[in-house]
Structure 1
Amino acid sequence: MDGSSDNKMPFVNIKKQYLAIGMLIFVALFFFNSRPAFQCQITPEVNTYLPTIYGITPTYARLAQKADLTRLSQTLMLVRNFHWIIIEDSETKTKLVENLLKESTLKYTHLNVKTQKSKHSTASGVEQRNVALNWIRDHLRKSEDKKGVVYFMDDDNTYALKVFEEMRKIKKVGVWPVGIVGGMRVEMPLVTNGKVSGYNAVWKPFRPFPIDMAGFAINATLFLDHPEAKFSRKVQSGFQESEILKYVTTKDELEPLADNCTKVYVWHTRTQKPSILNPKKLKNPPLPDDHIEV
């Protein structure tokens, strides 16, 4: 009995050793197979440098203002390394815009300047965009990282996230199509052999750069190289894009993006003016709502 038990014990110990080794191999294989997926998730965040996109958005008080800014801000929250410069057409900054910005997770700069009426031009956003460009110049002069892209954004346009990915490729000035603008389904630069050769535009096609404000972005350092670059009240309506672009580029230097200007990633949408009934004219007027921010 005792001899038989002694003979079985080494065999049992060997089985336990093999089992332990097998478990270690299983754990090691599991960790090894899981590791690459984990690394793929964090590596791009750590090692990929993204130039800052400075989005310049003029805005003015109206009933749909908060709705438009809310929709736009929700999109911008998904854009990495984005700095929103929002400029109110107002003598003072309003609580509505201030509260919206504070409640967002965006990096932002809040400015204001009142539009100066002019008999030469009825264009909107001239003073607001110029104030923003001055802020960018001051900011870049003080910043160690001067790389970035400047993009002029209307507060009621619609932007796909891909348009922001595209503009990070810009060396000087990048261009792309814009949907629903200028009386067309799409207004766009025409590309031949990777170069802009013309423009598909029917509204004032004689403009030096017949493209919409949403259809281009500019390397931020060009505004340091060209401190005189700005928008002007002295040009006719529709020429603001050409006015700013003439300082920093030529047609031959334009960089066609969005798959050689064949993809639409931004639309020149406009919010319909709301039709609100006058409570005084209603038989059963609603309760006062002046205390609620809309």
Structure 2
Amino acid sequence: MVIFLVSSRKCPTPDILTEDLDDLPIIYAITPTYYRPVQKAELTRLSQTIMLVPNIYWVIVEDSDEVTDLVSNILIRTGLNKRSVQLTAKTPADFKLKSKDPNWSKPRGVEQRNTALEWVRQRIAENSPRHSIVYFMDDDNTYSVQLFKEMSTIEVGKVGVWPVGLVGGLMVEKPLLDENNVVTGFNAVWRPERQFPIDMAGFAISGSLFMKFPSAKFSYDVQRGYQETEILRHVTTVNRLQPLANGCTEVLVWHTRTEPPNLKDEQKLIKQGKRSDEGIEV
């Protein structure tokens, strides 16, 4: 016979959920998104992480002409419509990925992130002097709630950095520190000559830096893999980075990607005018 002793039905509450919201910086989480079959699944997973972090303000930018009901419905169902904004920014046709293009062949999210940064700058100006953090939070990654507790400790005028799992052909890409806890480089093996060989998920920027450096933005006119360097070179240097996640020894975010579903039978139904999702949002 096995006896289970249960003292409580509740899991311990993460520290960040018990802190006074007024004592925490606002985290502007910028998420470019676009329609594809897995979009709702991706945003549902992401929204349920954001629900657990009270100091996140979600800036969603759709690659479309107008905001969509699919995204609006997710925000309403989760209650995040009260701490989010839904923007749109179309990717120029020349930079739009075609169905068979590798996802790395063209810069992604440039238009959407820059549109979000314009909005954030205006928002910061209106809410000054409250401390804020800007994080580029893609919709397909996996995030620990603990990451946002770490992120909330970024100092005014600083850029925080941490390891990212499953990226760049490695189990983990991470900043390298010296004995004084100063970042001296990175362990990246893909294009390590970059000034900042780091993944987009591996840093967050003090909002004050975007006010100090209004020209800081992303660009179509950089080499593949240089978007991170393009934004960071405006606002910091490697040795001024603020290492987080226990001296960059913990992985709190993973560069995951949902496998595209096999919808060949759905395509057959569509040709017959009998699609399976008629009248249902999937």
Given the two structures, how large is their TM-score scaled by the length of structure 2? 0.84
Deviations 1:105-157 (A, max 9, x none): 221010001001447x7110000000000001111111144311000011010
Deviations 1:223-247 (A, max 9, x none): 1111111000000111000000001
Aligned to 2:92: 116
**Secondary structure at 1:263's aligned position in 2?**
coil
| Alignment equivalent of 2:223, drawn from 228, 236, 239 | 236
Q: Once the 2 structures are TM-superposed, how far is the Cα of residue 182 of structure 1 from its aligned partner? A: 0.4
**Contact persistence 2:29–2:136 (CA under 8 A):** yes
Letter in 1 for 2:130: K
Letter in 2 for 1:207: R
Considering only CA atoms, is the larger Rg found in Structure 1 or Structure 2? Answer: 1
Q: Once the 2 structures are TM-superposed, how far is the Cα of residue 54 of structure 1 from its aligned partner? A: 0.5
Aligned to 1:70: 44
* Structure 1: gaps (5+ residues): 1-40
> C-alpha separation between the residues in 2 aligned to 1:102 and 1:46?
25
**Secondary structure at 2:223's aligned position in 1?**
coil
Runs of 4+ off more than 3 Å: 44-48, 279-282, 285-288
Q: Which has the higher helix share?
A: 1
Matches within 5 A, 1:106-255: 106=80, 107-118=83-94, 122-171=106-155, 172-192=158-178, 193-255=180-242
Return closer, same or farther for 1:191/1:98 CA change in 2, 3 Å cut-off. same
**Contact persistence 1:158–1:267 (CA under 8 A):** yes
**Secondary structure at 1:221's aligned position in 2?**
helix
Deviations 1:145-178 (A, max 9, x none): 4311000011010000111011111121010000
> C-alpha separation between the residues in 1 aligned to 2:22 and 2:123?
23
Equivalenced residue count is 250
> C-alpha separation between the residues in 1 aligned to 2:56 and 2:199?
21
Aligned to 1:97: 71
Given the two structures, how large is their TM-score scaled by the length of structure 1? 0.80
> C-alpha separation between the residues in 2 aligned to 1:154 and 1:292?
26
**Contact persistence 1:146–1:221 (CA under 8 A):** no
Aligned to 2:279: 291
Letter in 2 for 1:112: T
Aligned to 2:59: 85
Deviations 1:84-105 (A, max 9, x none): 0000011111111111112222
1:57 aligns with 2:31: yes
Identity %: 55
- Shifted more, 87-96 versus 174-183: the winner is 87-96
Aligned to 1:28: none
> C-alpha separation between the residues in 2 aligned to 1:287 and 1:127?
33
* Structure 2: gaps (5+ residues): 1-14, 96-104
**Contact persistence 2:133–2:206 (CA under 8 A):** yes
1:267 aligns with 2:254: yes
